[in-house]
Structure 1
């Protein structure tokens, strides 16, 4: 259910990655000689400089909801498990676990050498405190629902039972017991996600409302710490000397600068200051034959979110007209030109297969298509039903140059294909845009979502009536029941669960609270000496733990 996107933060995983040590005079190479008088290989400084397109909204894992925050949390914090190089969960603070025969009780054994950045031991109590803090109604965590598979989690979060009845308990300092309502096949991987990170109770309570808002009001237990955080400018990761696996962390320092302009990032690459840079459409043709050029398709989706409480979006025919009026093929071919594909669905292609081995997308196929003639008919019908001939809608958008182009394209398509519709664009900084969406203070919103775990539910749960990330006002009782059944009564029948999710996705397109635009591709340049920069297809976008400069 991941993170509302900072648009094109990811022109792959941040706008670019560049190396401080690639300039002259920075090499630690003082030795001479060697066999045959050969000069030894240069030793590069283990320093990277990265670019992100937006500020970090929060490093409080109980409150974080966005892509940037989860990326940073993944690199400065560590849960019971973390995602490894192959996107499979590998031990983090937990050394191992046992699961009961019915699949509903997990017992995690924690390592005894894990410490917080202030030297305190990381214990099972830190996990119990953090998870129950997420579920505490007073915290108002938007992501609390991601824990609803835990026994009594939803009931506690909605105030029906006390927190001490939640199925999370520290049996001792290094043993954590977790009881689930139903078997969850992806649960171990889910513990790698940001919302499941531990928190040091004493430190959190001492910081109060300031926790997670500054580098020095956050405590870390991951591969890196934030040694500096200048709001709206950037931050600095420094290797954590207290991290239990510090011997396998090669980078000493990672400087991150907030940069919203792709041309600036490309210029850094051109001047040999940048080692990794995402490319927007205007740069792809120039670099597509470069040896360091790469493209990839990932399971992240972008769409227009529609506020169904606003006229004319309270009319299903108007919503369907909008979804059919945008030529998404032309959008990905011309505006993006980076391997993205049109999205005609809400569960991405090449993401997950069912019990029969078939891709979810292959089974359900395309659920909406560009059809300007049909869009116009539906639009005229909507206008007749609403008794008006002209409408003006505001399109809430990110404040990056790339997002501006998408917004202008959407505006042109809708105004051209839907007579009487006027679109005004409102660009906002990332954090402010999230706030406006959460409060449903928008008409249309250009938004994105990437998966938190490898299951269709990470997308489908978004559109339930109770999802805090629905933010459209749309609800459907049949849809809610299908999702609820897939999470509970059908949990042990994989085919029936799969069929319920397939049916649920089709219901979304009967109500059309969103207009899908594209599944994200990425075109980028990366110099060959940046190694093991591990990207993930779900959860946080990347891990720096194994990265190094060759």
Structure 2
């Protein structure tokens, strides 16, 4: 805290000399606690919440999405559509400039999309943009760059061709994956782009001027107004100090004492509930690794699904959490309507202890038969004894899991081990497929059912259960190729059903996020579907 306080004093002094805190409230300093240090500030790769908080403030795309959902000009001052809405031509601002003085050009956006679809980049967001013509073929090496539907027509004119018209495409362009990348500067970092303050230039309202990495609790970042930034809406905030505070209780105390200006609550903010904005964009689920020997059996997985009666945790959930009857969270839309209202609230089979036992036993018997026939080295009991469930190391998650596992013990005779660890470690193990079963959140990164479900395509970086299901892939491919909004909606509905039919995911409950600003603070914007907080227009009374 002493280091932070000293830093704040230095910054305030510098700001009073350079820009001042004016009578209209502009030029003020804001402070926010990040849970963890950013891992990578490359917009095409940034995925963790801390990285996105920084990226969302130091970069800007062609278009900008406001807190009220409206989309306004960013680097692009205008655009027009052709060919029935399958071609967009964007005209960029003449005064758009990188923080190093280079002009921001259409070539920077074309290079960003080239990187997005490059197999070497391994961007987790590539599949979100497969609507761009030629993108999948380019990523698989079937066509060269000339086949990708993104072209810089001049320094200030960018053309993007789509495989079909889609009203959500403009929304996509407001996300970090579509932010520009200066090719010359990128190459100069020699693989270090986005990993240090020196290996970054920005085109957004702020620049990253300080990034200290001394050890997790002593880390901090400072964002300062980017004096090269041009926009029709001026930057109001003077600077932002981002401290690394891993413990949630410490972040909560800092906010309640007025030391920070906003907070993402993990629980319902009772004391300030009237000022909280909530977004139900996460489904907590048990994810089963079908590549593990026991869980590779469809009857075993189906038995686990039928034995998981979520009513066992219903009375344990706080009022702001609700039992999940499907995979896509309630606040996610399909076009202009709620996807859940369209696709149905409850897609899961009714729990049935007897059916669960019979189905599970059929799977277990197949292992014993193979063992007795000499075609397998392991019988059912030896495989079952090795099953471990990964659980976040908080009391509530463990209580929920223990109640559900009691059902598996009673109805199936399965007694899995439970291993608790940080959610970050669990997510890392799931990504590496080094797990049997894990309790994890599945969070929407866009307010789009199509985007949420596309994550389960074979090979997707965000495909948590690492599904490779031909039925699912076929539905998602047809959804991507369809030019009919009603047909895509129906294919979305079928795709969700097909994903659940693999019995690799058991949805348990929906979790909202709550965002609250300090009582004297206004105009801090939060995008729940990319998890970043924007300070550009922030002001204190």
Aligned residues between the structures: 509
Distance in 1 (alpha carbons) for counterparts of 2:273 and 2:458: 48
Cα deviation, residue 511, structure 1 = 0.9
Distance in 2 (alpha carbons) for counterparts of 1:66 and 1:208: 23
Cα 1:27–1:229 change in 2 (3 A) is closer
Distance in 1 (alpha carbons) for counterparts of 2:241 and 2:232: 19
Note if 1:456 corresponds to 2:449: yes
- Out of 513, 522, 525, the position equivalent to 1:531 is 522
Q: 1:363 corresponds to which residue?
A: 343
Note if 1:261 corresponds to 2:247: yes
Q: 2:109 corresponds to which residue?
A: 127
Q: 2:507 corresponds to which residue?
A: 516
Deviations 1:491-514 (A, max 9, x none): 2x2212211111121111211221
Distance in 2 (alpha carbons) for counterparts of 1:249 and 1:469: 34
Q: 2:258 corresponds to which residue?
A: 272
Q: 1:10 corresponds to which residue?
A: none
Q: 2:539 corresponds to which residue?
A: 548
Cα 1:530–1:27 change in 2 (3 A) is farther
Cα deviation, residue 89, structure 1 = 2.0
Distance in 1 (alpha carbons) for counterparts of 2:5 and 2:232: 21
Q: Are 1:186 and 1:453, in contact at CA under 8 Å, matched by a contact in 2? A: no
Cα deviation, residue 519, structure 1 = 2.1
Cα 1:393–1:246 change in 2 (3 A) is farther
- Out of 289, 294, 313, the position equivalent to 1:307 is 289
Q: 1:15 corresponds to which residue?
A: none
Distance in 1 (alpha carbons) for counterparts of 2:455 and 2:506: 14
Cα deviation, residue 127, structure 1 = 0.7
Q: Are 1:346 and 1:459, in contact at CA under 8 Å, matched by a contact in 2? A: no
Q: Are 2:524 and 2:538, in contact at CA under 8 Å, matched by a contact in 1? A: yes
Secondary structure of the 1:118 match is coil
Q: TM-score, normalised by structure 2?
A: 0.84
- Out of 144, 156, 163, the position equivalent to 1:181 is 163
Note if 1:386 corresponds to 2:379: no
Q: 1:422 corresponds to which residue?
A: 416
Structure 1: gaps spanning 5 or more residues: 1-17, 31-39
Q: 1:3 corresponds to which residue?
A: none
Secondary structure of the 1:208 match is coil
Q: Are 1:262 and 1:278, in contact at CA under 8 Å, matched by a contact in 2? A: no
Cα 1:159–1:358 change in 2 (3 A) is closer
Q: 2:374 corresponds to which residue?
A: none
Q: Are 2:310 and 2:404, in contact at CA under 8 Å, matched by a contact in 1? A: no
Distance in 2 (alpha carbons) for counterparts of 1:397 and 1:215: 35
Cα deviation, residue 352, structure 1 = 1.5
Note if 1:344 corresponds to 2:325: yes
Q: Note the 1:480-491 alignment, pairs <5 A.
A: 480-488=473-481, 490-491=482-483
Q: Are 1:376 and 1:417, in contact at CA under 8 Å, matched by a contact in 2? A: no
Secondary structure of the 1:478 match is helix
Cα 1:67–1:375 change in 2 (3 A) is farther
Cα deviation, residue 166, structure 1 = 1.2
Cα 1:20–1:348 change in 2 (3 A) is farther
Secondary structure of the 1:383 match is helix
CA RMSD of aligned residues (A): 3.3
Cα deviation, residue 328, structure 1 = 4.8
Secondary structure of the 2:299 match is helix
Q: TM-score, normalised by structure 1?
A: 0.83
- Out of 478, 482, 491, the position equivalent to 1:500 is 491
Note if 1:221 corresponds to 2:212: no
Q: 1:8 corresponds to which residue?
A: none
Secondary structure of the 1:449 match is strand
Q: Are 1:292 and 1:527, in contact at CA under 8 Å, matched by a contact in 2? A: no
Cα 1:324–1:248 change in 2 (3 A) is farther
Structure 2: gaps spanning 5 or more residues: 17-21, 369-379
Cα deviation, residue 280, structure 1 = 4.6
Deviations 1:85-111 (A, max 9, x none): 212321111111111142111100000
Distance in 1 (alpha carbons) for counterparts of 2:23 and 2:227: 27
Q: Are 1:20 and 1:49, in contact at CA under 8 Å, matched by a contact in 2? A: no
Note if 1:155 corresponds to 2:137: yes
Cα 1:42–1:165 change in 2 (3 A) is closer
Which range moves more in the overlay, 223-232 or 77-86?
Answer: 223-232
Q: Are 1:107 and 1:176, in contact at CA under 8 Å, matched by a contact in 2? A: yes
- Out of 111, 118, 122, the position equivalent to 2:93 is 111
Q: 1:9 corresponds to which residue?
A: none
Distance in 2 (alpha carbons) for counterparts of 1:366 and 1:19: 51
Cα deviation, residue 171, structure 1 = 0.8
Deviations 1:228-251 (A, max 9, x none): 223433322222111113862221
Q: Note the 1:399-410 alignment, pairs <5 A.
A: 402=394, 405-407=396-398, 409-410=400-401
Q: 1:243 corresponds to which residue?
A: 229
Distance in 1 (alpha carbons) for counterparts of 2:66 and 2:515: 22
Q: Are 1:136 and 1:163, in contact at CA under 8 Å, matched by a contact in 2? A: no
